[in-house]
Structure 1
């Protein structure tokens, strides 16, 4: 896809700029109620991609962002983070990542890319504007925001899956005297110099944070409760994502069966390190459970040389540390919860049927939902790369929304 050009109602202004509209009286307050074809909630990768594809489809779009900059979640990630998907498969519609970026761009480079993307396509979100609720108003949607109510026949929720930290609780956590933070608040090892740190969780955040700490000489242990799958970032000289894309049309069980021997050769016998191998293969785990295997970028090597200790699940906490499920106890100065994210979007869209599962995640992302005019982009975990999937979904949503708006006119 080439660079999208402004069209439709966005030709005279950047995407997200507010136009003048009649005022409404509500409880003694004056509300300016802008009307657009589409409201997009979120100015991260999904929101920006949808803004570009929808404007290219001739739709008039407003982007609402609760933070003060694009890519707010990416700005909060820990310092050493790099994409686990390669540069060539991580660009958004209309603008590849710069060729001078490394194969796996850094967090800072991703932020820079999002800023450049917004500038190139003149996407101008309405910042510092939180959407409290989406509700139907006849054939249109109303977004109740911190500033006013905004109306459109189409709304796209593009808030991402990494903006609702999950903080489990354990017995004794209230008496534990050390610092406890979620991985979303971790930045770098400096704070933990000279300390013993427990990282709970063996996803990619947990594995990489433990590696970051170990590389800086911090005494770190990983609490791993469940069986795991581990895959290399590159396989036979190609990014692991390329293999996932190659096999994307095959059933998950078949893909995992085909890949199992070479993956075992690539990562070795990690059961000897105190880890249990999950019965489900990596692809099946993602599709059925929404769990992403650890993409190993050095964590296993640090476990093998003892710099990262592996422990079982946490049973309970004491004032100075943790007791594990095997009854062993250790003292820790700090705990980092790499326990993932659980956004419940029912709070944002409370009055719809057949849209969310029992956890508040959308049943459909990248296409029409059970609520006319309501779409979600990038809200599920996929084996073929989150950024790549966002681009595909944004294209699909733009065409569906164009048809919907034309019929509603």
Structure 2
């Protein structure tokens, strides 16, 4: 196969970082994006969203996030930054192109898209690990009288002002949106928890903890977990009396074994202690206008908002290639090839910040692709 442009799937942070790294390595790349602009998933999130990673550790190589964006960058400022990055690097991005399937081809890969087929010796999938919202199929859900929606569909917390909301989930998305819902003036907020989360403060005494998390990577997992638990206890005290006992796993062990990241507090714990939200049991099912919790308690919310996670949605694209594990995540470590010439960037979360890892993964892939092409015999 004559080497053409490397095909990069997705124009979010991971995809743009990859295209730019390939460009620096002297390798031509084309980015295929199904949306009509970069950072499509970011554009669709609620307007109050901010990064949990500090500004100066969240950008891409060669272009800093502006100081005017503040310490914790807003959704709109981050989208504008990624758009500016793509334009400043003159990356070749084709919008409105949906990648449907990747198949093996002689000497490389065939990529089937809504705009036809492409072939390349290297394909980098960078669509993101949180591309598809996942909503559990609770018994009786289809007969519930009110809306049941994933948090990804919520555009503004203020849209739920004056309503009784059952928020299902206690991960980072739930902890983050809960504070916005209280501040927006919901009439009541119940938070349904199955597994108690590891909650860490974003700042302590005005100092951001993100850099500390990054520096702690050299420490053993047990030491990191013990340190995180101590920080949580120092910041929040014992939350057992509020319905949140100590989690069975520390944050780093849980990330390694389940892929679930830590929840970063942005006011959640303060609202919990002040009684502005209530922790309740996991959802067992729906019964008419009521939600039935484990243990038998019944609630009558106006809206059920599910912060129940996301899926990568990689199965239709590459599931037939044997490169995914049982959870739908690609085999191999960050920036490694799941199969010769087939790479994945942005699918390994990290407590110290997933965005921070994208440039490093992209650079690793770019070096490997450039090296492979130098060694390949001339067509």
> Structures share a fold, TM > 0.5?
yes
Q: Give the number of aligned pairs.
A: 376
Cα drift, residue 259 of structure 1: 3.7
Q: Is the 8 A contact 2:335 2:362 kept in 1?
A: no
**Which of 148, 161, 167 is 2:135 aligned to?**
167
Question: Which residue pairs with 1:5 in the alignment?
Answer: none
User: Do residues 102 (structure 1) and 70 (structure 2) align?
Assistant: yes
Greater relative contact order (CA < 8 Å, ≥ 6 in sequence): 2
Cα drift, residue 125 of structure 1: 0.8
Q: Is the 8 A contact 1:35 1:150 kept in 2?
A: no
Q: Is the 8 A contact 1:366 1:375 kept in 2?
A: no
Q: Distance in 1 between matches of 2:338 and 2:138?
A: 38
Q: Is the 8 A contact 1:321 1:333 kept in 2?
A: no
After TM superposition, the score normalised by the length of structure 1 is 0.88
Q: Distance in 1 between matches of 2:197 and 2:334?
A: 29
Q: Distance in 1 between matches of 2:288 and 2:226?
A: 46
Secondary structure class of the residue paired with 2:21: helix
Cα deviation 1:200-248 (Å, max 9, x = unaligned): 0111211122211111210211111112211000235432221111110
Q: Distance in 2 between matches of 1:239 and 1:374?
A: 37
Secondary structure class of the residue paired with 1:174: helix
Q: Distance in 2 between matches of 1:370 and 1:81?
A: 32
Secondary structure class of the residue paired with 1:247: helix
Q: Distance in 2 between matches of 1:114 and 1:314?
A: 38
Q: Is the 8 A contact 2:102 2:109 kept in 1?
A: yes
Cα drift, residue 307 of structure 1: 1.1
Q: Distance in 2 between matches of 1:331 and 1:350?
A: 40
Question: Which residue pairs with 2:201 in the alignment?
Answer: 232
**Which of 230, 233, 257 is 1:288 aligned to?**
257
Unaligned runs of 5+ in 1: 1-32
Secondary structure class of the residue paired with 2:312: coil
Question: Which residue pairs with 1:24 in the alignment?
Answer: none
Question: Which residue pairs with 2:344 in the alignment?
Answer: 376
**Which of 232, 248, 252 is 1:263 aligned to?**
232
User: Do residues 211 (structure 1) and 169 (structure 2) align?
Assistant: no
Q: Distance in 2 between matches of 1:46 and 1:370?
A: 17
**Which of 45, 48, 71 is 2:13 aligned to?**
45
Alignment RMSD: 1.7
Of residues 130-139 and 268-277 in structure 1, the stretch that sits farther from structure 2 once superposed is 268-277
Cα drift, residue 359 of structure 1: 1.8
**Which of 291, 307, 317 is 1:348 aligned to?**
317
Secondary structure class of the residue paired with 2:180: helix
Cα deviation 1:60-115 (Å, max 9, x = unaligned): 10110011100000000111000000001101122121122211000011111011
Q: Distance in 2 between matches of 1:73 and 1:251?
A: 34
Of residues 232-241 and 264-273 in structure 1, the stretch that sits farther from structure 2 once superposed is 232-241
**Which of 60, 67, 70 is 2:38 aligned to?**
70
Q: Is the 8 A contact 1:202 1:223 kept in 2?
A: yes
Q: Aligned in 2, Cα 1:109/1:269: closer, same or farther, shift over 3 Å?
A: same
Q: Is the 8 A contact 1:365 1:376 kept in 2?
A: no
Secondary structure class of the residue paired with 1:347: helix
Cα deviation 1:165-196 (Å, max 9, x = unaligned): 11111111121010111111011133323211
Q: Distance in 2 between matches of 1:260 and 1:99?
A: 32
**Which of 60, 79, 84 is 2:52 aligned to?**
84
Q: Is the 8 A contact 1:134 1:142 kept in 2?
A: yes
Q: How does 1:242-253 map to 2 (within 5 A)?
A: 242-253=211-222
Secondary structure class of the residue paired with 1:74: helix
User: Do residues 152 (structure 1) and 120 (structure 2) align?
Assistant: yes
Question: Which residue pairs with 1:301 in the alignment?
Answer: 270
Q: Aligned in 2, Cα 1:71/1:200: closer, same or farther, shift over 3 Å?
A: same
Q: Is the 8 A contact 2:15 2:126 kept in 1?
A: yes
Cα drift, residue 35 of structure 1: 6.4
Q: Is the 8 A contact 1:369 1:375 kept in 2?
A: yes
Question: Which residue pairs with 2:106 in the alignment?
Answer: 138
**Which of 69, 75, 90 is 1:122 aligned to?**
90
Q: Distance in 1 between matches of 2:159 and 2:73?
A: 25
Q: Is the 8 A contact 1:344 1:361 kept in 2?
A: no
